[in-house]
Amino acid sequence: MRHLTPRELQQRLSDTATPPTLLDVREPWEFNLCHIAGSELIPMGQISQALERYQQTQEIVVICHHGIRSRHVAYYLEHAGFNNIINLEGGVERWAREIDPTMTRY
> What are the φ/ψ torsions at residue 101 (nearest 5 degrees)?
-65, -10
Calculate the average pLDDT of the chain.
Answer: 97
| Domain range annotation of the chain | 2-98
Q: Which long-range contacts (CB under 8 A, 24 or more apart) does 35-43 make?
A: 35/63, 35/92, 36/63, 36/92, 36/95, 38/13, 39/63
Residue type, position 89, single letter: E
**Judging by DSSP bridges, how do beta strands 60-63 and 2-4 pair with one another?**
unpaired
CATH of range 2-98; options 3.40.250.10, 3.40.50.2300, 3.40.50.300, 3.40.190.10: 3.40.250.10
Enter the pTM of the model.
0.96
Query: How far apart, in whole angstroms, are the C-alpha atoms of residue 87 and residue 77?
Result: 11
Asked if the model's pLDDT at residue 70 lies above 90, the reply is yes
pLDDT value for 12: 94
Query: pLDDT, tens digit, for every residue of 5-55?
Result: 999 999 999 998 889 999 999 999 999 999 999 999 999 999 999 999 999
